[in-house]
Structure 1
Amino acid sequence: MKLSAVFILLILSLDVTAFSMGDAINIAGRQRMLSQRITQTYILRGIQPEAERHEKVFTRSIQDFKQNHKKLDRFHGANKVKNQLLIVQKEWEFFEEIAQQPVSKENAAELFERSNSLLSAAHIYVVKLQQLAQHNSAELINVAGRQRMLSQRIAKNYAAKLWGISPEDAESGLQMDLSEYSNRLNQLLDSPFNTPEINNNLHKAKDHLSYASRGFDGEMKISEKRQIQVITGTTDLMLRNMNIITEQYAELLNSRE
């Protein structure tokens, strides 16, 4: 029994030790994205209650947020900013309570607002981690990670507008997010730290944004059901591609630690 306990403690110790600042910024940035992805899929469950995919993504995203928070809570390298992680935890508790309620427009509107508060708290935590890292590549992880969030906030605002949830805020937010996503891509493309692989993935992200914008601009003459598939499918491509880029930037920081 004593040997087993020592072995478990050793494994936990190794897990924390192997967790780098680059990894922490990457994972903390994912929490921003998940706040928007959960809200998006909650709304989509109301628009398309028969679609099993929305339910699966919703459930998996909640699980991911909780697992990520546990990892960040164990990271000793960020003890100086632990208070901000506690704020994120409190915002998450408020958010999750609403998210677990039956799907309705009233609950969706409340979750829409609460997602912005959770996002803000999570973003502040990412910035504090970036400051602890004290290296330019940490900013790149933050910005690339924010692109993941923007891909899902774009989809969230699109879904909210479609279902009549805070339509004015959703419309203005959608346009601002599309503009920011494009501007941030150009910022990343200008980075002297980029490898050829990173640049290649960034150009893919530009292509994804261009295709998604056609749907928002009404250029695609397709049914609402098909448009939802196109928009959510394309923003998911944007998410996956930016996730790869964020991990590539995290590797750059890890190699300098």
Structure 2
Amino acid sequence: MKRRVFIASAAAAGMGLGAATVAHAQVADLNDAINKAGRQRMLSQRASKAYLALVQKVESRNAQQVLDRSIALFERQLGELKAFAPSPAIRATYESLETAWGAFRNELTDAAPSKEEAARVVKLDTAVLALANQGTGQYEAASGKPVGKLVNIAGRQRMLSQRMAKFYLATAMQIDPAASTAEIGKSRTEFVSALEVLRNAPEATAQIRQELVLADAQWLFFNRGLQRLEGAGASPALMSDVFVSSENLLAIMDRVTGLYSEIKT
């Protein structure tokens, strides 16, 4: 029997990332499309992270809410982005994403979380992430404006926060630990570099820079947790710290992405 996923209530509640996440029922403009398309990348990694947490009984209640809300928001935004698609090529990307998402969603919800299922979840999220990233790039190209690139970069930071936490939990479960550790390292390098780009962009407002100061502080805490896995191994307390700090970092970067998407130039 399928686990019950509270899609309707989750859709109403949003992701717990603030009003900006659920403010628009439809895509408002190309900046908003880039924001939402980029958020789909993040949700693929966030859903996997939550699933791995459930397998290891880390933040179980929180993880179940994160999983349910991620599924609901992904499906809502998928419909919005497909409907808004300004070209056949973009529409085709979202049709392919719909197929990949269906397989991934089934793996997330068809059975009780287990280590065997977790390895398949991590494998299936790869196709979803790749197509979501492709769609984000296509929307950025359709925009053709410098701010569109910044919305994409800021939005990608959300995904990287979840990707690092996901691979942290995968390493703790010994799901291809060498590759998982390498992926954390690659994501860490990209995340730090992108923070500099966002901070130094001419379009960065005082409010954006203020949020990035908060991101710096949260990143230090999150990164410390990631590094502790490499030294002392994973304990439930350490995994909980990484899970929670990844959610906090995500919330900040979601606000930064929203602020960049509101710039009209």
* TM tier relative to shorter chain: 0.7 to 0.9
Alignment match of 1:37 (pick from 30, 41, 46)? 46
Which shows bigger deviation, 71-80 or 243-252? 71-80
CA contact (8 A) 1:161 1:171 kept: yes
**2:161 equivalent to 1:151:** yes
TM-score (norm 2): 0.85
Q: Match of 2:257?
A: 246
Distance in 1, matches of 2:169 and 2:127, equals 19
Segments of 5+ residues of structure 1 without an aligned counterpart are 1-13
Q: Residue type matched to 1:213 in 2? A: N
Q: Which has the higher helix share?
A: 1
Aligned pairs (5 A) from 1:160-171: 160-171=170-181
Q: Match of 2:14?
A: none
Distance in 2, matches of 1:122 and 1:222, equals 32
CA contact (8 A) 2:37 2:136 kept: yes
Q: Match of 2:70?
A: 61
CA contact (8 A) 1:205 1:241 kept: yes
**2:139 equivalent to 1:139:** no
Q: Residue type matched to 1:232 in 2? A: F
Give deviations 1:169-223, integer Å, cap 9, x for gaps. 2111111111111111111112111101111111221111111121222299898
Aligned pairs (5 A) from 1:206-217: 206-217=216-227
- Partner SS, residue 261 of structure 2: helix
- Partner SS, residue 218 of structure 1: helix
Q: Residue type matched to 2:83 in 1? A: R
- Partner SS, residue 107 of structure 2: helix
* CA 191–53 in structure 1, closer or farther in 2 if over 3 Å, else same: same
- Report sequence identity in percent: 27
Aligned positions, number? 240
Q: Residue type matched to 2:90 in 1? A: V
Aligned pairs (5 A) from 1:64-79: 64-77=73-86
Report the aligned-residue RMSD.
2.2
Which shows bigger deviation, 78-87 or 165-174? 78-87
Alignment match of 1:224 (pick from 216, 235, 239)? 235
- Partner SS, residue 217 of structure 1: helix
Q: Match of 1:3?
A: none
Moved beyond 6 Å, runs of 4+? 219-223
Segments of 5+ residues of structure 2 without an aligned counterpart are 1-23
Distance in 1, matches of 2:103 and 2:209, equals 39
TM-score (norm 1): 0.87
- Partner SS, residue 44 of structure 1: helix
Q: Match of 2:93?
A: 84
